[in-house]
Every structure is written in C-alpha cells, then in structure tokens.
Amino acid sequence: MRGETNCMSKKNKEHKNKKQKGEGKSLRQAVLSFFDESPGASFNFKQLARQLGPKSKTGNQQLFTLLDELEKAGKLIQLADGSYGSTKKTKTAEGVVDHVNPRFAYINTGDETDIYVRERDLGTALHGDTVKVSVISHRPGEKPEGKVEEIVKRNRTRFVGRLEMSPNRFAFVVPDFKKIYQDFFIYQENVGEAKNNDKVLFEVTRWGDGDKSPEAKVIEVLGKTGENEAEIHSIMAEFDLPFRFPENILQASEKIDENISKEEIKKRWDFRDVLTFTIDPEDAKDFDDAISFRKLENGLYEIGVHIADVTHYVVPGTPLDEDAFDRATSVYLVDRTVPMLPERLSNGLCSLRPNETKLTFAAVFEMDNKGKVHKEWFGRTVIHSDHRFSYEGAQEVIESGKGNFAEEIKTLNDLAIKLRKERFVRGAVNFETTEVKFKLDEKGKPLAVVPKIRKDAHKLIEEFMLLANKAVATFIYKLRKGGDKNTFVYRTHDFPNPEKVSDFAQFAKQFGHTLQIEENVVSRSLNKLMDEIEGKPEQNVLQSLAVRAMAKAKYTTEPKGHFGLAFDHYTHFTSPIRRYPDMMVHRLLQHYLDNGKSASKNEYEAKCIHSSEREKRAADAERASIKYKQVEFMSLAADKLYAGIITGVTDFGIFVEIIETKCEGMVRLADIKDDFYEFDEKNYRVIGSRRKKIYRLGDEVEVRVKKTDIDRRTMDLSFENASGDFMEEVRLRPKEERTRPDRNSNRKRR
C-alpha cells in the first residue's frame, strides 16, 4: 500500500512538473510573441502581468523569473526606466559615442535626437568611437534607447594614464581621460621600463569582452605622475598632439632660401619706406601681423594690415605643407606652444621682426578720420618693420601720449574705437570673458594665477585685424558677378538656437534682467544685458551661459555671415603662421587676383571640416592644460575659506568658481549632509527635499578645498556657508513624473 502510495505520489509529481513546464513554455512563447507584435515598444512589469501573466501571486513570480531568464538569454532587455523591450532590431543608426558618465552614453547620430545607451549595452565601445546601434525602444517625448551592435571605427587605440603595478606580475593603467571609465590590463612583458605611478602612453592590444578589461602595452614612459613634464606630455598625448616635428620636415624648413631677390620685390608693393610696426604680447616669438601708417595728400590715412606671407615659402603638395595641414593650428598650452610650422619659419623667415625686410600679404585701406573706408587694395607687399611694441608698451603710449610714434598710435587708436563702436551699432555681440594666465617657476610650478586684462592696445590690433578679415571675405564674395560664386574659405557663426536663447532669457529674468529674443534685436539686447550686469555678482555666470547659448564658429565654403561680429562675410586672413585656414585664404585670394577659375568646392569644404576639428582639439587641449595648472595651484594653496560663485549645477554636483583664483571645483551632492538635494534642471538649481534650501547658478557661496586630483584634473570642494538670497519654498515634482534626464543635464563640465 505504501509502495502504491509512493508510486501515485511520483506520478502526481511528474504530472505537476510537466504541467509547469508546459505552462512555462506557453508563457515564454506568449511573452516573445507579444513583443514581436509590438516592435520598438517597451512595457513595464504591471503591463505585462495584466496582458500575459496568470492572475496569482505565484503567476507574477513565474512571469518575473521568466523575464529575468529572457534578459539573460539576450531575448529581452531591461531599459533604464525598468521596462522591458525586445532585442530584435527595429531600426539601426550610426553615430559617435559620447560617454557622459559611468552609467550611460549617448550616440550622436548627427540628427537632433541622440540615442541613449546604458553602460552594459555599449559592448567594448569607448568615447569617440563610431558605432552602429540598434534602437530598442522609443517612447513619445523621450530619447530613443539603443544597444551597440558593431564598432564601425575606433576613435583611437592609444591613450595616456597612470601605471599601477601589482605584486602578482601584472599592471593596470588608469586612463587620464575623464570619459573613459575602465582600467586597462597589462601583462608584465608589456610594461617595459615603466614603474609604479609612472605616467605612460599605452596602446590597446585586445579589446575587453564582458567583465574582462581591455589589454594594452606601454609605448612610452612620460615621467612620474604629478611632475610638470609628465602631466603636460600626458595632455599632449591625450589629445594626440605631436611632440616634435619629423626629421624630414625640419630638414625641409632648413633648406628654404632666406634671400629675397630683387625680382621678387619688383612683384610687390614696396612699403619698406613707410612707417610700419608690430604690437604683440611681451613674450611673443612669432610676429605674423604688422600695421603700416601714413597720411596722404588728400587728407585720408593709408593703413596697411600686413600679414606674413607664409605661402611664399610653404608650397602646396610638399611634405612641409602636408604636415602643416595635418596640424592645422598651433596649440597654446600653459607652458609651451605646439607650433603648426617649424621654428625656422614661425620664428625666423616668416616672423615680422623689427629692422628686417619681410615678405607679406596685405589689405591696404584709405580711411577718413571717422573710420570710413574710401578705397581698399589686396595683394603681396614687402615691409621693413620700424619698431616692435609689446601690448604694455603700446598701452603706455596711448595713455601718456608720449613715446615712439605717439601721434600715429593715437590716430590708430581713435580709428579703432570708431570701428568698434560701428560694429556694435550694427549688432555685434560684446562678450568680454575673463581669461587667466599663470606665473610659473623654472620647473613649471604655478606661483600665481593672473587674469588677462584687455586694454586699448589689444583692441586696436583686434579692430584692424577684423577689418582686414571682413574686407578680404567681402571682396572675394563680390568678385564674380552673376553665376556661381568663387569657392572660398569663410569663418561663419550661425544665429544662436532660439530655444537656447529663450532658456537663457528665462534664467536671466530670475536676476531681474530682460532679454529680447527676436532675431532682429537679440544681439543688441544681449549687449544691453552685458552692460547691465558688469560688476554684479551674476556677471560671470550670465556671460558664461550666454556664450554657451551661442552657436560655434566654424570654417566652411558656404558664404554665410558671422552673427557674433555682425558681418555679412568674414574669413581668417591674419594669422597664417599659426592657422592653416589663413594659408588657404592667401592662396585662394592670390589665385583669384590672378583671374583664376573657381577652386573645387568639395576639396576645400573637406579641408574646412578638418580645420574646424583641429581647432576644437586645440581648444580642448588648452583648457585641459589650464585646468591642470589650476588644480595644481590650488593643491599648494592655503587651507582657508574662499568666496565663490556657483557656475554649474548638475544631478551629481555643484560647480563653484573661486573668485580669487578663477579656479573651478565641484561640491558633490553626496557630500552635502544637511539634506537630500534633487536637481531642478529647468531652473539651474538643486533643492533640499526636507528643508527646501536652494543652491542656484550665480549664488555666492563660501567653500573650502577638500581634495585635489592632478591626475584627473579635478578639485573637490565643500560648502562652509551659502548665501540665502534665493531661499524659497517649492513643490517638487512627484517621482513618477520624472523621466530620464536629457544629455545636457548629465554632461560633466570640464
């Protein structure tokens, strides 16, 4: 009887197991079919249970287990909001990875909408890689979410980081670049001569898979972490800046004949007997622009803007030209310059040094005493500079009315003031942001942070350079009447995004300022605002936000205008020693002066894109070097309270600029212990959930330096006391109304 009972029990158990397996199988099929019928859609657990799950607690658990199994099997994916979507491809796109933070990235496809990808769905893709991504889910009002399917192109395979040796005969490199959130494994045989805590250049040998770190080998030891040479070389390597010129390029520059023949001079307008001088920074080594001045018998002033004729020496198609094009621009780091041209050209043959005959390309203007241009001429010239002014020396002449060529300097300054005033009347935007420079000792250690102050001498040169750039662009644009215009290299600046301007206007309103955002008046309204905020606590914040609201200037063959300068046409003609686009402009200008046919638009547009990309790289590298020196300086500063201004607010921290040193650091929200703070993206602020205390962009606060990290070029701050001027009661949005933050709210500010 007992055996019979056991037999029955066994049969019942088998039957029950078969039934459960059958139910499990049918539920699995039902779930997969459900997602197949709704491609691109995503559903949360409640929606799935309502549609598919057995109406019981056990059934819900069964569904939950199944969803987990299907996710592990790669059939489904759990999205950022907790819902589930099918991994079957519904749409694919190609774009570039912007790895915003360790949790997720955006794929910039070139369209207005970027694709959100969680860290686990990036595969081996790193920041800057071009990838193919499948779109998994796209809910109305939210950014689409996707998964990387293929690495189309690696942005780079070499990086810089700090070596950490392990006693187990291997090492890891912690990358310097802030948008790479993983370490790289290095076998002992690939460490080379590097030692623990060295800053190294390394190359990836094998990309990681799953939980495994990518593997790499050390290419070059840059020095000890924290040393100036190592850190600057690290920045250069991080941005792929060249450390030196190839030997063949140096040899080519040395072979250039420095003699100027009489035949060459006869081809040019000879200005050697006309008063000519340069005005440059005190420590400048290359002088690529000079001003000539004389008063004509007709009462007008003849003013020549003479620019180093680099293209006389650098011939298209030569290795020297190809290397200059690849570099595209000189890069100015805090303690050195990474030049576009070898020193023999930049500091020698092409530098407009005093008391030397030099070949130049010029824009010559006849102007009256009101700054009106009556006549202009463009072409090649030869000059013999009479004097080299520093900005400080020229400023002293302007202020005292005494010194070399005092009368001529005064006349030029008066004309520059009128040209500047006319620009603003026409709608140019007046952004005077504060830049800093460092006083360094012989080892590169920062001794002081000094703000750069722009005075009349700087503005004098600036106005005549702007005049020349505008005149050259306008001349070429009008040169051919009817039909297609001549292909040319323009410097353009689009009208700012109306949505960004509107957001900025709303923020400025919180400080009591009004900004008109209509297209025909926005520039004048911006200038009025800049005047109103001068000297006020919110000045730096509003200036910074206004700049961010603007479009980025770029090089292009499209003859569009320049919003910021209020010019219909503009180019870069005045700095060919340090910018390749200026060399292109010189060549095209001479080509058209010689009645040449229009150049290839496609060829020059590609060169413009390359030049714009190199310009951005240079700007990023320069900012990184400044940030490094700021962090280093603050690591050596006294432990005291500093007055600061909140310059940025995100969902993870508050950025504060220390007023005294212009150095920026971050107070992490997790470190503020008096409350739990939540990010209010729309109003640029964080709000305490219990006490309703607010920290907002522009608030004055007191901070103390908590930690500096030279490797990452970051500085952690802590609040001491914050201004209560902006305290207010608010009603927080319910949690269920919050959606995944937009990319701009999560992007770390560097």
Domains of the chain: 2-85 (1.10.10), 89-153 (2.40.50.140), 158-225 (2.40.50.700), 637-746 (2.40.50.140)
The predicted model gives 684-700 an average pLDDT of 88
Find the angle CA(559)-CA(563)-CA(568) to the nearest 5 degrees: 40
Mean pLDDT lowest for which of 137-141, 303-307, 346-350?
A: 137-141
Per cent of the chain over pLDDT 90 is: 55
Confidence of residue 565 (pLDDT cuts 50, 70, 90): very high
**Beta strand ranges found along 207-322 (DSSP E):** 215-224, 269-270, 276-280, 289-295, 301-308
Residue that is written with structure tokens 């690591």 in the block:
635
The predicted model gives 400-427 an average pLDDT of 95
Confidence of residue 383 (pLDDT cuts 50, 70, 90): very high
pTM: 0.80
Confidence of residue 25 (pLDDT cuts 50, 70, 90): low
| Higher-confidence position of 741 and 313 | 313
**Residue 8: per-residue pLDDT:** 42
Confidence of residue 711 (pLDDT cuts 50, 70, 90): confident
Confidence of residue 13 (pLDDT cuts 50, 70, 90): very low
Q: Distances from the Cα of 236 to the Cαs of 201, 338, 579, 621, in angstroms? A: 10, 9, 18, 7
Confidence of residue 62 (pLDDT cuts 50, 70, 90): confident
Q: Is the dihedral of CA 411, 414, 419, 422 positive or negative?
A: negative
Mean pLDDT lowest for which of 263-272, 404-413, 472-481, 716-725?
A: 716-725
Residue that is written with structure tokens 């951005």 in the block:
616
**Residue 739: per-residue pLDDT:** 36
> What single-letter DSSP state applies at residue 240?
T
Here the tokens at position 433 are 């942001």
Confidence of residue 141 (pLDDT cuts 50, 70, 90): low
Q: Rounded CA gap, 674 and 721, in Å? A: 12
Query: Does pLDDT of 699 surpass 90?
Result: no
Q: Rounded CA gap, 594 and 585, in Å? A: 14
Residue 277, phi then psi, degrees to nearest 5: -150, 165
Ranked by mean pLDDT, which of 4-8, 125-129, 735-739 comes out on top?
125-129
Here the tokens at position 164 are 């950490």
Ranked by mean pLDDT, which of 40-49, 382-391, 512-521, 666-675 comes out on top?
382-391
**Residue 37: per-residue pLDDT:** 66
Query: Does pLDDT of 661 surpass 60?
Result: yes
Question: How far is C-alpha 99 from the chain's CA centre?
Answer: 15
Query: Does pLDDT of 20 surpass 50?
Result: no
Strand partners, 351: none
Q: Distances from the Cα of 473 to the Cαs of 74, 324, 607, in angstroms? A: 57, 23, 17
**Residue 45: per-residue pLDDT:** 83
**Residue 740: per-residue pLDDT:** 35
Q: Is the dihedral of CA 58, 59, 65, 69 positive or negative?
A: positive
Confidence of residue 734 (pLDDT cuts 50, 70, 90): very low
> What single-letter DSSP state applies at residue 309?
-
The predicted model gives 221-235 an average pLDDT of 91
Using left for φ > 0, alpha for ψ between -120 and 50, and beta otherwise, residue 483 falls in: left
Residue that is written with structure tokens 């005549």 in the block:
464
**Residue 23: per-residue pLDDT:** 45
Confidence of residue 195 (pLDDT cuts 50, 70, 90): very high
Q: Rounded CA gap, 575 and 611, in Å? A: 14
Confidence of residue 1 (pLDDT cuts 50, 70, 90): very low
User: Is 703 within 8 Å of 644 (Cβ atoms)?
Assistant: yes
Cβ-Cβ contacts under 8 Å for 15 (sequence gap 6 or more): none
**Beta strand ranges found along 301-346 (DSSP E):** 301-308, 331-332, 337-338
Could you give the angle at which helices 319-327 and 601-636 cross, rounded to 10 degrees? 60
**Residue 101: per-residue pLDDT:** 83
Ranked by mean pLDDT, which of 59-68, 229-238, 533-542, 568-577 comes out on top?
568-577
Report the chain's mean pLDDT, rounded to a whole number.
86
The predicted model gives 736-744 an average pLDDT of 35
Confidence of residue 507 (pLDDT cuts 50, 70, 90): confident
pLDDT digits (tens, 9 = 90+) for 350-373: 999 999 999 999 999 999 999 999
**Beta strand ranges found along 233-315 (DSSP E):** 269-270, 276-280, 289-295, 301-308
The predicted model gives 477-482 an average pLDDT of 79
Confidence of residue 504 (pLDDT cuts 50, 70, 90): confident
Beta pairing class for 289-295 and 301-308: antiparallel
Q: Distances from the Cα of 632 to the Cαs of 337, 440, 626, 640, in angstroms? A: 20, 11, 10, 16
**Residue 603: per-residue pLDDT:** 97
Confidence of residue 213 (pLDDT cuts 50, 70, 90): confident
Beta pairing class for 387-390 and 276-280: parallel
User: Is 703 within 8 Å of 670 (Cβ atoms)?
Assistant: no
Ranked by mean pLDDT, which of 21-30, 151-160, 579-588 comes out on top?
579-588
> What single-letter DSSP state applies at residue 232?
H
Q: Rounded CA gap, 501 and 503, in Å? A: 5
Cα distance between the two ends of the chain: 80
Confidence of residue 495 (pLDDT cuts 50, 70, 90): confident
The predicted model gives 378-396 an average pLDDT of 97
Confidence of residue 466 (pLDDT cuts 50, 70, 90): very high
**Residue 142: per-residue pLDDT:** 67
Residue 439, phi then psi, degrees to nearest 5: -95, 120
pLDDT digits (tens, 9 = 90+) for 599-648: 999 999 999 999 999 999 999 999 999 999 999 999 988 889 999 988 88
The predicted model gives 200-214 an average pLDDT of 86
**Residue 718: per-residue pLDDT:** 93
